[in-house]
Amino acid sequence: MTRCALSALRFQPGPLWSEETGQHTGTIVVINLSRERCSLDGYPTLTVLDARHRLLAFRIGHRGDQVIAAESPREVLLQVVGRAYFVFNQYRCDIRSTAVARYLRVSLRPSAGDSQLVRLAGYPIIDFCPGELASTTIAVSPFVSRLGQAARAR
């Protein structure tokens, strides 16, 4: 199966919610716009930006947490106009936020120079609190074919 090209994909915000755990969780829907099937594997590479497109120094983790399942990546096959997903979350700021995330820059591989910018919804807020260690990490799921595969069983 051919790997999906970034230029053949569209990333759009999906459902967002706040958890009882104090975490804010977001979904990104990945849509195959090409005329051929393709595959995704692994984790998306994310950078988080504020409203002025300045980098927010979040640490990105792939080990799961209270909300995101600690699953190993599996190949996801995307049909024409097919969808895949990934989920990300962050523990809320409890003391003082210094910035708010408004965009994700998404690429398919860590060394890839190409990326797409995705505007985040306004709620729940992914805020940046440099003094709070728990709040400076964003957990990210691998690409999955069904949204429920990215979350821990409740």
pLDDT value of position 123: 63
The CA angle 41-43-47, to the nearest 5 degrees, is 140
Name the pTM for this structure.
Answer: 0.90
The DSSP secondary-structure symbol of 136 reads G
Average pLDDT, whole number, for the chain? 87
Please state the domain extents for the chain.
Answer: 6-150
Whether the predicted pLDDT of 116 surpasses 70? yes
The Cα–Cα gap between 30 and 35 comes to: 15
Whether the predicted pLDDT of 24 surpasses 90? no
Whether the predicted pLDDT of 154 surpasses 50? no
The matching CATH number, chosen from 3.40.50.150, 3.30.70.3340, 2.60.40.10, 2.40.110.20, for 6-150 is: 2.60.40.10
- DSSP-derived 3-state class of residue 124: coil
Mean pLDDT comparison of 67-76, 104-113, 117-126, highest-scoring range: 67-76
